[in-house]
Amino acid sequence: MLDWLKNINKEYPDFWKNYLSKFETKPNRFVVICTETSGLNPVKDVILSIGAFAVVNDSIIIQDNFEAVLLQYKYLHDNGLSNEFIIESKMTKLQEAEALQKFIDYLGNAVLVGHHINFDIEMINASLERLDCGRLKNEALDIDMMYRKLTDINDKQFSLDDLSEIYKIPKSDRNSSAEDAYTIALLFLKLKSRLGIK
């Protein structure tokens, strides 16, 4: 059956209806995100953690952030993987459904920013599908594509480490999605001003 026909009378969860209603106004912030995942396949892999920071008026708003470890015990158990990462993490630990709901509430209609953002979006969309929701509606910007546009390079992709080196952003011992999100936010501010994005 056609997907759109299936969804005509679909009853979405309340948090999703609330999210959709936010698109009646123009976004007033960017949300820089990074996900840590169990692999690169949105169909069979899952999100292990999400880190995000808001950017408003050319500033990273540290207190406007989101960070969570997703409890994916079933996935880890089914695949014989260690859950050491989850146990050792000091971040808030939430079930996937609760984490996604809180993240969507936090995100609102903001413009998403990330490094190879399409992958993060596909992983989030796969999680949302498990919750009987639609797909993210947010506009999105990718810092790799922004850099390539700025330098007119079309035949190469740049890693987060490459871009950090180019813009002299000090490396931390990055080991969390929030630390990566903060690095992406710093890069975004540099690229945003050079590209004249408001």
154 Cβ contact list (under 8 Å, min separation 6): 148
Grouping H, G, I as helix, E, B as strand and the rest as coil, residue 33 is strand
pLDDT at position 115: 97
Q: What is the pLDDT of residue 85?
A: 63
pLDDT value for 172: 73
DSSP 131: T
Query: Which residues does the chain have with pLDDT short of 50?
Result: 1, 4-5
Query: 111-114 and 47-56: which strand pairing?
Result: unpaired
- Which pLDDT belongs to residue 198? 80
Phi then psi dihedrals of residue 105, to 5 deg: -60, -40
- In this predicted model, what pLDDT tens digit does every residue of 17-41 receive, in sequence order? 999 999 999 999 999 999 999 889 9
What integer pLDDT is reported at residue 1 of this predicted model? Answer: 45
| Model pLDDT, residue 7 | 53
How does DSSP classify residue 37? E
Give the pLDDT score at 71: 83
* CA distances from residue 142 to 33, 37, 70, 191 in whole angstroms, order as listed: 11, 18, 24, 10
